[in-house]
Homo-oligomer: A and B are copies of this chain.
């Protein structure tokens, strides 16, 4: 029996990573800044180059790769070209932002990857993170679980009754754009006022406060009353958003990751728990709020888990071979 090789792609707004793995674990991982200019298929072509670079690192030919799992920023759209990206943080044609020197309105992804690989699975990055945490992290035996990242943005991966939710275009989990406040004029990049991202996503909250969010949190950690009150307000909004999902999906376990949460879970968790458990006991009683475990590798591991044979997963759970992963940073592409 010949060895099976898998590739994982992690496509984000600022960086892209490719990982090559076999049954023993990850063999190589390369990262590079995500391209922001060129033809519309530049992102897909860069992804193919990164897989080739990971293969070179590992001394394996790319044509030996059986399956490719992909975690990508969204939203997605489905067209004649298969799944494509309509991401405001990549497509200059969809935003008025000056730091996107392109006029892309749709990034073809699936069609470009399929020029080289027959078996490709693509999921939204928060769905990938959820798959990663269910495979190797804090949600291994949870069938009713939500993964949420609280970072520069806020995104969700949803699992109900053991099914990962995808929706009509693979965009389930964009609940960061759920409307929560009708009195706040906080503005989201999507145009909403008073949605969860507008209120407390890192990029928006920091801008509104006129100071960096890490500074606010570090003042709060030192006991500063004003900083603590800002954080209590943010935790209350986050708790209201999570409560809305619990009452919608009857969730058992809430798994939180992302930089805002990770560095401040000690302050945030009790406040968020109190907000959730103050409401509708038939739905909220016994709900668990936990921190995600896999940190920066969560989407890479999720992308691998999407395409991994069952037997590998059980073995990797025991051995945790990702803990020894070596990452090679490549120079910017052009």
Q: A-side interface residues toward B, CB under 8 Å?
A: 74-75, 77, 86, 144, 156, 158, 160-161, 163, 165-175, 177-184, 190-192, 240, 243-245, 247-252, 279-280, 282-283
Contact = CB atoms under 8 A, between A and B. Distances in A.
Tally of this chain's copies:
2
Contact of A158 (B174, B177, B191, B248): B248
Given A86-B282, A174-B248, 17 more contacts: A160-B172, A167-B249, A167-B250, A167-B251, A168-B250, A170-B250, A171-B283, A172-B248, A173-B250, A177-B279, A180-B180, A181-B182, A182-B182, A182-B184, A183-B183, A190-B279, A190-B280
A244 B244 contact: yes
28 contacts: A75-B282, A86-B282, A144-B167, A144-B168, A160-B160, A161-B163, A165-B250, A166-B250, A167-B249, A168-B250, A171-B250, A172-B250, A173-B250, A174-B247, A174-B250, A174-B280, A175-B247, A175-B248, A177-B247, A177-B280, A178-B248, A179-B180, A179-B243, A179-B244, A181-B181, A190-B279, A191-B280, A192-B280
A90 to B, nearest CB: 13
Contacts of A86: 282
Nearest to A199: B182
A78 to B, nearest CB: 11
B179 A249 contact: no
Q: Which 5 A-B pairs have the closest CB atoms?
A: A167-B250, A75-B282, A183-B183, A171-B250, A175-B248
A165 B171 contact: no
